Amino acid sequence: MANERRQSGQPAASGSKRRMRFYFAGIVIFSCWALYALINQEHRLNIESGRLAEAKEKKAATEQQISSVKQEIERLRDPEYIGQLANKQGMIREGEKVIEVTE
């Protein structure tokens, strides 16, 4: 077969050139795919990082609400505070007199 190529005037390296072209085409295609995958992953990472930051902010706000509710619960265990709340709503204790100020 090698003798036939030499006799027909074709160089023996034409097959290897064709293989090299396929090899380089494969490398180019693979490189393009890898670049696309990298860009796509970077984009998704940015989106997920934003979602994570929002979730952390929401968590901090929720923890702050929880601490304020716990503080309110502790205050409601104090009879003096309950009395103050009752006074604000117009309730009075037995024996107390209501003094109304008008202007």
How confident is residue 83, by pLDDT bands cut at 50, 70 and 90? Answer: confident
More confident residue, 37 or 86: 37
- pLDDT per residue as tens digits for the range 14-67: 789 899 999 999 999 999 999 999 999 999 999 999 999 999 999 999 999 999
Does residue 12 have a pLDDT over 60?
no
pTM of the model: 0.54
Residues 65 and 72: their CA atoms lie apart, in Å, by 11
Q: At what angle do helices 79-88 and 14-76 cross, to 10 degrees?
A: 90
84 against 45, higher pLDDT:
45
